[in-house]
Amino acid sequence: MALDIVIMAAGKGTRMKSSLPKVLHKLAGRSLLQHVLHTAGELGADRIITITGHGAEHVEAAVQAPHLQFVRQMPQLGTGHAVQQAVPALHAEGTTLILNGDVPLITARTARALIEACGGKKLALLTIELADPTGYGRIVRQGGSDNGQVRAIVEHKDASPEQRQIREIYTGMMAVPTAALKRWLGQLKNDNVQGEYYLTDIVAMAVADGTPVVAAQPKSEAEVLGVNSPLQLADLERRHQKALAERFMEDGVRLADPARFDVRGELHCGTDVEIDINCIFEGQVRLGSGVRIGASCVIRNARIADNVVIHPFTHIDGGGDENQQGVTVGAGSLIGPFARLRPGAELAEEVHIGNFVEVKNSTLARGAKANHLAYLGDATVGERVNYGAGSITANYDGANKHRTVIGNDVHVGSNSVLIAPVTLGDGATIGGGSTINKNVAAGDLAVARGKQMAISGWVRPVKKR
């Protein structure tokens, strides 16, 4: 049986007070709409139709997914009017699931339960009881009892004082037999307080038609909470992060504080992982077993092998989603505090990167160390190299980047400048303070700095009266 999904995302989101369309605001690193599309994608729909309106070009450009099509709603005359725009794109038969672009945490499990409850024959509404139902459409049941047949949805603004007492509300999500949906949408009127075409009016039509109306409930309230304001967005973000944190902790990850932990992408952890407070994980991050991460680290698109220790305030940035280079850190390495690993940093086992050291597009072989105040860009660093404090690779000539190749067991003295392209052979030694622009042969000592001289009995100038 055909399954079509309609995602409503044409609304303005006035209360966000933002120039960005509401559904493009981010929760856990992904736009609200991307969350809904991700869930829709898990349901095996034949067609996913997103209704756009406000900021349509922006929204359409920002999200792309298989089976996805956009239909524009201009102007926006209500939720019923929104779904009317999708009618030509729907199958003749089957089930249509309606989701909201600003309700990001709906799960595939709840959506499937709704689709099953519909079964291509019944009108299935996702409802929930709220302590404060203000503003929502109320589920009006036969005889006013909790398990009476659903008769209608009445919008808050159109509800009588008695109906406003009802705490069971419509969440904005439903599964409908597609053929009947098309018929009912053709009969919508806008004779209500807001002068809008209400999708919710199809419930009374179904009742009149003798189509059974059933209700299903989500597992948690967060699944059906919409985002209308920055405060609601932050509240939903915290709920989502807390749920994620609890899941990690159930799997044995030791978070110092589940309330101070943020995953904006996908995090995979081995066993005995410890994460201190205020760490942020973005994109795809893998942590091997025994990894320890100090406070306030930001880690994006990286693979961290077993038993790595990352000290506080370290920034690991494997780059964006396009041009994905990533960062890899080998087993047993020690990173930070205050270290910065940038895209293309590939560290083998037992590498040490200390405070205020930046590594970009460079490979460091086993046991290499850069412990203080240094820069390695576009470099190939051999095993057991000791890269002294304050040393840098001058990799950029103003137009092009060049590589620095450092052999095994090289010792680079403090405050050296290695002007690329340049190669230091195995076992070479660079005297501190050298500026090196010629290759150094294996085993050689290279010193390239002003020679020290001495003037005996030097008298310093004195201040004139």
**Which residue numbers are catalytic?**
372
Q: In Å, how far are 191, 301, 319, 325, 330 from 343, measured between CA atoms?
A: 58, 9, 5, 5, 15
By beta-carbon distance, which residue lies closest to ligand UD1? 137
Q: Helix 32-41 vs helix 108-118: angle between axes, to the nearest 10 degrees?
A: 60
CB of 234 to ligand UD1, least distance (A): 18
Which tokens go with 381? Answer: 């660093």
- Which letter does DSSP use for residue 184 in this model? H
Binder among 31, 34, 39, 73 for ligand UD1 (CB under 6 A): 73
Closer to ligand UD1 by Cβ: residue 77 or 90: 77
Under DSSP, the state recorded for 198 is -
Specify the residue, 137 or 388, whose C-beta has the smaller distance to ligand UD1.
137
Distances (CA, A) of 355 to 6, 54, 174, 307: 51, 47, 54, 19
From the CB of 128, what's the least distance to ligand UD1, in Å? 10
CB of 300 to ligand UD1, least distance (A): 30
Closest distance to Ca ion from the beta carbon of 86 (Å): 19
Q: How far is the CB of 77 from ligand UD1 (least distance, A)?
A: 6
Q: Which residues contact 387 (CB under 8 A, 6 or more apart)?
A: 368, 369, 370, 374, 376, 381, 406, 412
Residues of span 192-231 touching Ca ion by CB under 5 A: 226
Please choose, out of 26-34, 86-94, 168-176, 239-247, the segment that lies near ligand UD1 by the rule CB under 6 A: 168-176
Q: How far is CA 227 from CA 14, 58, 101, 199, 399, in A?
A: 11, 19, 9, 20, 47
Closest to ligand UD1 by CB, 156 vs 372, is 156
In angstroms, give the least distance from the CB of 169 to Ca ion: 11
Q: Pick the closer one to ligand UD1 by CB: 39 or 79.
A: 79
Residue 82 is a binding residue for ligand UD1 (CB under 6 A): yes
Binding piece for ligand UD1, criterion CB under 6 A, among 164-172, 212-220, 237-245, 436-444: 164-172
Nearer to Ca ion, 148 or 230 (CB): 230
Nearest to 83, CA basis, from 12, 1, 176, 171: 176
Q: Which of 27, 106, 170, 412 is in the footprint of ligand UD1 by CB under 6 A?
A: 170
**Other CB atoms closer than 10 Å to residue 461's CB: what's the count?**
5
Shorter beta-carbon distance to ligand UD1: residue 10 or 267: 10
Options 28, 125, 152, 169; binder of ligand UD1; rule CB under 6 A: 169
With respect to ligand UD1, which residue has the nearer C-beta, 226 or 377? 226
Q: How many residues bind ligand UD1, per CB under 6 A?
A: 28
Distance CA 285, CA 270 (A): 11
Residue 200 partner contact from Ca ion, ligand UD1, none using kind-dependent CB cut-offs of 5 to 8 Å: ligand UD1
DSSP 386: E
**Partner whose footprint covers residue 353, from Ca ion, ligand UD1, none (CB < 5 to 8 Å by kind):** none
Please give the backbone phi and psi of residue 430, each rounded to the nearest 5 degrees, phi first.
Answer: -110, 125
* Residues between 208 and 267 with contacts to ligand UD1, criterion CB under 6 A: 226
| CA dist., res. 264 & res. 278, Å (int) | 13
Measured from the CB atom, is 224 or 253 closer to ligand UD1? Answer: 224
Q: For residue 462, which phi and psi values (nearest 5 degrees)?
A: -115, 155
Within 10-49, the residues that bind ligand UD1 by CB under 6 A are 10-11
Please give the Cα distance from 288 to 305 (Å, whole number). Answer: 5
Phi, psi at 389, each rounded to 5° = -55, 140
- Among ligand UD1, Ca ion, none, residue 137 binds (CB under 5-8 Å by kind): ligand UD1
Classify 377 as helix, strand or coil.
strand
Cα separation, 67 vs 282, in Å, equals 27
Residue 81 touches ligand UD1, criterion: CB under 6 A: yes
Beta bridge partners of 424: 406, 440
Residue 351 contact partner, candidates Ca ion, ligand UD1, none, CB within 5 to 8 A by sort of partner: none
Which residues are at the interface with ligand UD1 (CB under 6 A)?
A: 8-11, 51, 53, 73, 76-79, 81-82, 100-102, 136-137, 153, 155, 169-172, 198-200, 226
Which residues are at the interface with Ca ion (CB under 5 A)?
A: 226
